[in-house]
Structure 1
C-alpha cells in the first residue's frame, strides 16, 4: 500500500461505516483477486452536480466473468432528467418514478464492491460521482483500488514504443473492436460494465505482466 493510501485509511478507519464497506485487498496472483467492472449512467457530465440514474456492474473471479454476480439498479434522481439524456441511455421518466432513491441503492452497491478492485472506462468520473454520494451518506469516499482500462492500453502502446503524438484516445467501442469483443448495446450501465470486463480479461491474456504491474501499483 502506498503512502497516500495509508494516510487515507488512517483518516477514515474510525468512521463507523469503514468496515461495512471496505476490506483490504491482499497481495495475491491475478487469478485469486476479485475485480468488479462497473459503470454509471448520470444526468450529465458535471461531477459536482449531476446525479446517478443507473448503476451496472459485474464481477470477475478467476479471470472469468461471474455471471451470477450481475448488479443493475435504476436510481431516482432529485431532479427531472433532460430529454437529451433520455435519448442516450433510454431510461425514461416512468423508469425513474418507480426507482428507489440513492440512499437505498448506494449502500447496496458499496457492500457489493467490498473487497474488489474496481475496473472501468474513464473510471475517474464514476469514482468521483460515487464518492460524492458515499461522502454525503456515510462520511467517507470510495476506498477500493481502481484501474482504468485506458491506462492498461496506454502501457501497451508505451511497450511498443509508439510515439506520444501517434497515441490516439480510443472509445470503448474501438477498444472492444481491437480485442475482438462484439458490442451490441451502449450507454446502458450494465452492458458497458460487461464490455469493459471482457476487454480487461482480453488484456490480461495478451499482456499479463503489464496488468500485474498496474494492479500492484494501485493496491
Structure 2
C-alpha cells in the first residue's frame, strides 16, 4: 500500500497521479504499484510539485512496516533504530532542489544537449503565419467570425501584420463586446464582408504553414465560413501549438493561452484581440522552435 498527500501543487500533477492511484480525498492518493513504478511516480511528483508539498508513505521492511518520504521543509525524516520518524525542525532546512540525483542531472544534461542540437538545426527559421479569430460565440454552426488577425514571419525576423473586421447580420452580444472591444457599430462602420475578409486572408497567408493556439477552434470557423461561401477550404499545413506545449511542459497549472504566454515570457498587450493574440502566438511559436520543441 502506498499513500501520497499533496498540498498546493499544480492541477496537472494531480491528474498524472490519478492514472496510477485513487484520490480518496482531495490531495490524498492511495495505490498499490511496484517499487519501480512507485519511485518513478515519486520522481514525477518532485519534478512537478512547483511550490507545493508532498509526503509519501509506503510498505517497507522495518519495525513499523512502512517508510516515509517528504518534501515538507519544516520536517525531516529520521531513522531511530530502524523506525522512521517525522522530526519537526526548530528552523527551516534549506529547500531541497527536486531532481538533484545523479540520474536527474544526467537526464537534464541529455535534454540540454538535445536542445542545443535542435537549436543549431533550426538556426534558420522558415516563414510561417500565426492566425487568430474572434467570434460571437463558441458554436461554429450558430455563431459568426467578427475579426481575423494574422502575423507573418519573414526572413531576417521581419513580421507583417494582417487585421480585418467582418460585418455580420446579427448583433454582437454584449459579453463579446466587453471581451473583445468589438461592437455592432464598429463592425458596421469599419467591417467588410466575410467574402472579402477571407479572400484577403487567403492572399496574405499564401501557401505558408499556419500556426495557432487551440487552432481547431479557428480552423473550424474558417472552414465553415468557406463552406457557406461555396469556396475551397485552406489547404495549408496547419499546426496547433497547444499539444506542442502540453508535451513540452507537462506540469503547467492549465493550458489557457494567457497561462502559457506567461510561462514563456511572451507579452500580449491586448488579449482577446485577434491581431494581438496572433502576434503573441507567433512569438510563442518562435520560442518553441528555438527551444527545439517545434519544427515547421
Alignment TM-score, normalising by the size of structure 1: 0.73
**Corresponding position: 1:80 with 2:171:** yes
Partner residue of 1:211?
294
Partner of 2:161, secondary structure, is strand
CA distance in 2, matches of 1:142, 1:134: 9
Structure 1: runs of 5 or more not aligned: 1-28
RMSD over aligned CA atoms reads 1.9
C-alpha contact (below 8 Å) 1:36/1:113 kept by paired residues = yes
* Corresponding residue to 2:222 among 108, 130, 136: 130
Q: CA deviation at 1:182?
A: 2.1
Partner residue of 1:121?
213
Taking structure 1 as reference, are residues 63 and 133 closer, same or farther at Cα in structure 2, changes over 3 Å only? farther
Q: CA deviation at 1:103?
A: 1.5
Structure 2: runs of 5 or more not aligned: 1-121
Q: CA deviation at 1:46?
A: 0.4
CA distance in 1, matches of 2:266, 2:139: 30
* Corresponding residue to 1:169 among 248, 254, 278: 254
Partner residue of 1:64?
157
Higher strand share: 2
Partner residue of 2:142?
49
Higher helix share: 1
Q: CA deviation at 1:168?
A: 4.7
Partner residue of 2:263?
178
Taking structure 1 as reference, are residues 104 and 72 closer, same or farther at Cα in structure 2, changes over 3 Å only? same
C-alpha contact (below 8 Å) 2:148/2:164 kept by paired residues = yes
CA distance in 1, matches of 2:134, 2:162: 14
Structure number with greater Rg is: 2
Q: CA deviation at 1:51?
A: 0.5
1:134-173 → structure 2 map (5 Å cutoff): 134-157=226-249, 168-173=253-258
CA distance in 2, matches of 1:169, 1:65: 31
Alignment TM-score, normalising by the size of structure 2: 0.55
Q: Tell me the matched-pair count.
A: 174
CA distance in 2, matches of 1:58, 1:187: 15
